[in-house]
Amino acid sequence: MTGLLSGARILDLSHMLAGPFGSMMLGDLGAEVIKIEPPDGDPMRKMGPHFLEGESAYYLSANRSKQSVALDLMDARGRAVFYDLVRVADVVYDNFRPGIAQKLGIDYATLKSINSRIIGCSISGFGQTGPYRDRPAFDIAIQGLAGAMSITGTQEQPARMGIPMGDLAGGMYAAFAIASALYRREKTGEGCCIDLSLLDCLVSLLTYIAQYYFHDGIVPGPQGTEHM
């Protein structure tokens, strides 16, 4: 049985957790995911305990259903190979800081000039525009700014959630957005550029807790084992 996204080819430039988690789900749905890593590999390969064949368990947790290739995008020869892949791809997916893709010559405008139907998806902490665009973002910062830490832990000591939910939220929403963009392209023939903010994604997952704050402006406290 073929997967729902069988036939779709995704070039995955993402690294660490937020991006790879999303592309893994797309691979699980049948997409061909080609993970493009720098010559020394995704940093995740060196993190956490080793598991199968010397690979990091951390790396494997977010990188199944993929093939990997090493390319140096800072070298013209590496970019030339990448451009050849773009010509036969459906999606290019990254989690670079805003501005990095332009410096590498792989921004969406460049990709679209190579393949007019390409879909681009960029995950960043705070989006490609706005006053925070240039700030680096780690999961703990996203959890704090989104309000997730205020509802976790105790009044005396707010705590980070036990898993990197800020990163995982971005990956989940990216998979949903890319699948939707592929469906839209079937209807319109047009690609698009998806700008995804980790902060927006995590605030969305706070659902009614966030809505209560938007209603009355009261910062919610730790929820403990309460339901609703």
pLDDT above 60 (res 1): no
In sequence order, the 6+-apart residues with CB closer than 8 A to the CB of 156 are none
Q: Does residue 85 lie in a domain region?
A: yes
In sequence order, the 6+-apart residues with CB closer than 8 A to the CB of 180 are none
Q: Does residue 211 lie in a domain region?
A: no
The region of weakest confidence among 71-80, 146-155, 181-190 is 146-155
Q: Does residue 206 lie in a domain region?
A: no
pLDDT tens string 162-181: 899 999 999 999 999 999 99
Between CA 187 and CA 199 the distance in angstroms is 30
Range 152-167 average pLDDT: 87
The percent of residues above 70 in pLDDT, for the chain, comes to: 98
Q: Does residue 225 lie in a domain region?
A: no
Q: Does residue 178 lie in a domain region?
A: yes
| Residue 192 domain boundaries | 9-140+163-197
Q: Does residue 42 lie in a domain region?
A: yes
* Residue predicted with more confidence, 155 or 82: 82
Gap between the terminal Cα atoms of the chain: 41
pLDDT above 70 (res 228): no
Q: Provide the pLDDT confidence category of residue 140 given band limits of 50, 70 and 90.
A: very high
pLDDT at 16: 92
Q: Does residue 151 lie in a domain region?
A: no
pLDDT tens string 29-81: 999 999 999 999 999 998 888 887 778 999 999 999 999 999 999 999 999 99
Domain count, the chain: 1
**CATH code of the domain covering residue 19:** 3.40.50.10540
Range 189-195 average pLDDT: 98
pTM: 0.93
Q: Does residue 215 lie in a domain region?
A: no
pLDDT tens string 90-109: 999 999 999 999 999 999 99
Computed over every residue of the chain, the mean pLDDT equals: 94
Q: Is 215 a catalytic residue?
A: no
Alpha helix segments (H runs only) across the chain = 18-28, 57-60, 76-87, 100-104, 108-114, 139-146, 165-188, 198-205, 207-216
* Residue predicted with more confidence, 128 or 46: 128
pLDDT above 60 (res 138): yes
